[in-house]
Amino acid sequence: MKKKIIPFVLLLISIPLTFTCCVKDTCEDSYTYTLYKPVYETVSQLKANIKSGSPEEIENPGKIVILGHYIFLNEIEKGIHIIDNTNPASPQNISFVKIPGNIDLAVKGNTLYADSYADLVTLDVSDPAHVSLKDYKENVMQSPVAFRGAAYISQYKIAGWEKKDTLLVESCGGGGVIALQNEGFYVSNAANSASVPAANNSKEVGTAGSMARFAIVNNYLYTVDNSDLHVFDISNSDDPAFLNTTTVDFHVETIYPFGNKLFIGSNDGMFIYSLNGSPENPVKTGEFTHARSCDPVISDGEFAYITLHSGSSCLGYNNELDIVRLNMLVDASLVQIYNLTSPRGLSKDGNLLFVCDGSDGLKVFDASNVLSMKLLQQLPIGDAYDVIASNNVALVVTTDALYQFDYSDPANLHLLSKISVLKN
Amino acid sequence: MLLVLMTAVSQAQSRKLEFHSLNSVAITAGEGRATAAYETVNGFEFSTWFAGLGVGLDNYHFKSIPVFMDTRKYLGSKKLVFLFGNIGADCPAQKQAAKEFTYHDYYYFKPGFYADAGIGYRFPVIKKPLLVFSVSNSYKSMHARTGVYTECLIAPCPVTFKDYHYNFYRLMVRAGLMF
């Protein structure tokens, strides 16, 4: 027994001494930075460049407006694609209008209104292939686009960003998550945010998606920014006149016109503003408060449909569709909740409700009875975030493509066309 | 084919293919910390070789479940001393965030690599089971990713990711019973 134990004792004594030389713990964190260097232009240079150019690939689709045979699609922070949709089975991308800092748009007749940072751009789109600038109003709203640490230079605007990816590796605990570096470069590893489309009040006004922040009712353009509702008189389309600003709430997200009401969605609820009597000065007539979340809202007059989704800066935890009864369009009460995956934009045509449900794609519901809606079809088309359903054609924006579906048979949607998004 | 297989099995049987189950507790000591670990290895001994599959619970820095292949070579006529090596994956079982995870909205751990090599000694106290002691250098790696939602006005808001890569080189002292 002794003989057997001796080698073991020797082993215990000698081997650990040898092995301890190689004891070490390391931790590295890596972070992919995308550096954006601002490219400045004077206002006159920037205005001179706002015009039609040759069509460009869709890379980061944002909000959409449909008017007549044309689709106006925002390329986030860069401009607007104009797509001839005369034949929905074969849409033609015909031109691109460069508008730096553009997120939102609205169209009435031959005039397109768009934001460029905090400025309002008015364009003549009577010939969509040859768009021209009609008017440019500076600093009339709060820019939805962060300047990202870029220096503000008087008389200059940011016309674009030069992008450069960098991988930073450091020892753990060596720094924060986001930092500003190098002469106003913006530092982030995040993909650009995506945004989306609104509603409609006459055939002369473009139909937008539920996530629009611009809305036109008759001769007035209403825009919302983070906290305010701005009103412009557009009776003279060559020279829209800023009228006034009303503070709505913090974290305002969307605006949806219906009849003589504006439905404004914010992180914390939905607000109803009446345009009766004084469209230039909307008056708040009702509100519905919900748990904090991102929430586009639409309405059919009797009910408001609000989608709440988590997983964003809105900080909510709910993923649901709230249906709210509107009492005389002045007040609201919750009547039904449907749990969904990650609902975003939505659209209603008759009794059909179309909901973009994040990675679940597009869901089509029979909403003839809002207390008991029936799912008619689910289209797994990737990360869908807004839809416009009109005249039996559903235009769906996803992170991968712009789809058009024929829903004349709502239980069996038929793909008409798909314009793919260019992947970087 | 069947004939070849039957012949191989027959030869293996004649040279005593033995099943063993080795169940050990261990002390894992590294830079500034020492934790307990547990593992079970089950496999076959053939001549002076052993090969088996192992699974364990490793508490070093992060809780993890190493899943590995174990190979050992016995030395000498009595086959008491052995050299051994393990290689496999280290599956995270960690639930809590690490202290390095600053400014995170969420996090998750990803599997890493597991390896171990050392020397050991076994001997019978009575005939069976055998007492087995070993010492080795052990390595495990683990990865984690944290996400931070970036403020934006228009959903979906971008997410900022940060990746963490951990490498742990430890000394491992095991004591176990081999059945």
Q: Residue B66 corresponds to which tokens in the numbers above?
A: 């190493």
Boundaries of every domain in chain B:
19-97+111-141+166-178
Give the whole-angstrom CA distance, residue A157 versus residue A43. 6
Give the residue among A120, A97, A123 at the shortest CA–CA distance from A238. A123
Q: Residue A402 corresponds to which tokens in the numbers above?
A: 């712009």
Chain A stretch 368-387, residues whose beta carbon is closer than 8 A to a beta carbon of chain B: 383, 385
What is the reported pLDDT for A123? 95
Give the whole-angstrom CA distance, residue B107 versus residue B123. 46
CA atoms within 13 A on the CB side of A152: 5
Beta bridge partners of B173: B27, B135
**Could you give the 3-state DSSP secondary structure of residue A272?**
strand
Cα A267–Cα A273–Cα A274 angle in degrees, nearest 5: 170
DSSP code for A190: P
**Could you give the 3-state DSSP secondary structure of residue B165?**
strand
- Type of residue found at A291: A
Q: What is the mean pLDDT of residues A322-333?
A: 73
Give the whole-angstrom CA distance, residue B170 versus residue B4. 44
Residue A307 parent element (H or E): strand A303-308
Instruction: Look at residue A201 and tell me whether its pLDDT is greater than 60.
Output: no
- The residue whose two tokens read 């839809």 is A387
Chain B stretch 115-144, residues whose beta carbon is closer than 8 A to a beta carbon of chain A: 118-121, 123, 133, 135-137
Residue A311 sits at the chain B interface (C-beta within 8 Å): yes
User: A409 to chain B, minimum CA–CA distance in Å?
Assistant: 30
DSSP code for A56: -
Instruction: Look at residue A139 and tell me whether its pLDDT is greater than 80.
Output: yes
Pairing, β B49-58 against β B33-46:
antiparallel
Q: What is the mean pLDDT of residues A311-337?
A: 72
Query: In which band, very low, low, confident or very high, does the pLDDT at A175 lie, cut at 50, 70 and 90?
Result: very low
Mutate to test the interface with A, among B153, B164, B172 (most CBs of A within 10 A): B153
| A19:B150 CB<8 A | no
User: A230 to chain B, minimum CA–CA distance in Å?
Assistant: 17
Number of CB atoms found within 10 A of residue B14's CB: 8
DSSP code for A360: T
Give the whole-angstrom CA distance, residue A84 versus residue A72. 9
Give the number of A-B residue pairs with CB atoms closer than 8 Å.
148
DSSP code for A342: S
| A27:B165 CB<8 A | yes
Residue B31 sits at the chain A interface (C-beta within 8 Å): yes
Residue ranges in chain B whose pLDDT is less than 70: 1-15, 150-158
Cα A347–Cα A252–Cα A301 angle in degrees, nearest 5: 40
**Could you give the 3-state DSSP secondary structure of residue A379?**
strand
Measure Cα distances from A148 to A34, A183, A228 in Å: 12, 11, 21
Pick the CATH number of B19-97+111-141+166-178 from 2.60.260.20, 2.40.160.20, 3.40.50.2300, 2.60.40.10: 2.40.160.20
DSSP code for A181: B
Q: What is the mean pLDDT of residues A259-286?
A: 86
Contacts of B152 in chain A (CB under 8 A): 193, 312-313
**Could you give the 3-state DSSP secondary structure of residue B92?**
strand
Contacts of B154 in chain A (CB under 8 A): 62, 103, 144, 193-196, 211, 213, 253
Residue A167 sits at the chain B interface (C-beta within 8 Å): no
Number of CB atoms found within 10 A of residue B99's CB: 8
Beta bridge partners of A123: A112, A133
Taking the CA atoms of residue A356, residue A358, residue A362 and residue A367 in that order, the dihedral angle to the nearest 10 degrees is -50
Instruction: Look at residue A125 and tell me whether its pLDDT is greater than 90.
Output: yes
Instruction: Look at residue A13 and tell me whether its pLDDT is greater than 80.
Output: no
Q: Residue A342 corresponds to which tokens in the numbers above?
A: 């990650």
Residue A4 parent element (H or E): helix A2-19
Strand runs labelled E in A209-282: 214-217, 220-224, 228-233, 241-247, 252-258, 261-266, 269-274
| A176:B171 CB<8 A | no
Q: How long, in residues, is chain B?
A: 179
Give the whole-angstrom CA distance, residue B114 versus residue B108. 19
Give the whole-angstrom CA distance, residue A337 versus residue A320. 7
- B59 near B29, Cβ under 8 Å? no
Number of CB atoms found within 10 A of residue B31's CB: 12
pLDDT digits (tens, 9 = 90+) for A287-310: 877 655 566 788 888 888 888 877
Residue B81 sits at the chain A interface (C-beta within 8 Å): yes
Q: How long, in residues, is chain A?
A: 424
Residue A15 sits at the chain B interface (C-beta within 8 Å): yes
Residue B110 sits at the chain A interface (C-beta within 8 Å): no
Complete edge-to-edge strand list for the sheet that includes strand A384-390: A384-390, A393-398, A401-406, A414-420
Check whether the bond before B129 is cis (ω within 30° of 0).
yes
pLDDT digits (tens, 9 = 90+) for A335-393: 889 999 888 889 999 999 999 988 889 999 999 999 999 999 999 998 887 899 988 99
| A28:B165 CB<8 A | yes
Q: What is the mean pLDDT of residues A311-339?
A: 73
**For B151, which of A176, A211, A313 is closest by C-beta distance?**
A313
Mutate to test the interface with B, among A27, A196, A306 (most CBs of B within 10 A): A27
Q: Nearest residue of A to residue B33 by CA position?
A: A25
Residue B155 sits at the chain A interface (C-beta within 8 Å): yes
User: Cα dihedral sign for A263, A407, A92, A201?
Assistant: negative
What is the reported pLDDT for B58? 93
Taking the CA atoms of residue A185, residue A267, residue A302 and residue A384 in that order, the dihedral angle to the nearest 10 degrees is 50
What is the reported pLDDT for A149? 57
